[in-house]
C-alpha cells in the first residue's frame, strides 16, 4: 500500500527487533535517497520513515500470515467502499 509497508521477517534470537528494524529502515532510506533523490552523501538530519513501527508474532502459521499480508490491500479497499456506502 502507498502509506505503509508489511514485511514478514524472521529474526534470530541474538538480534533485537529494534536493531533489525533500525538497520532495515536506515539502509533502505539511504538507498532510496541515492536512487530517487540524487543524494550521494550527507544524510544527517534527513527523515524518510516514520519514527515508530509495529511488531507482532506470527507463531507457527507462516502461510496464513503471508496470505493475510498479500490480501491486506484488497480487504482494506473493500472495507473503505462499505464504509462510504453507509
| Catalytic residue numbers, as ranges | 68
Nearest to 62 by CA among 54, 74, 70: 70
CA distance 52 to 22: 10
Residue 20 corresponds to which cell in the numbers above?
Answer: 533489525
CA 47/CA 65 separation, integer angstroms: 30
CB contact at 8 A, 43 and 33 = yes
Amino acid at each position: 500500500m502507498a502509506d505503509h509497508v508489511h514485511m514478514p521477517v524472521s529474526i534470530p534470537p541474538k538480534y533485537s527487533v529494534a536493531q533489525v528494524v533500525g538497520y532495515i529502515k536506515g539502509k533502505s532510506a539511504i538507498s532510496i535517497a541515492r536512487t530517487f533523490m540524487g543524494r550521494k552523501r550527507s544524510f544527517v538530519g534527513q527523515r524518510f520513515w516514520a519514527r515508530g513501527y509495529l511488531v507482532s508474532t506470527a507463531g507457527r502459521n507462516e502461510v496464513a500470515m503471508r496470505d493475510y499480508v498479500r490480501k491486506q490491500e484488497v480487504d482494506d479497499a473493500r472495507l473503505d467502499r462499505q464504509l462510504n456506502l453507509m
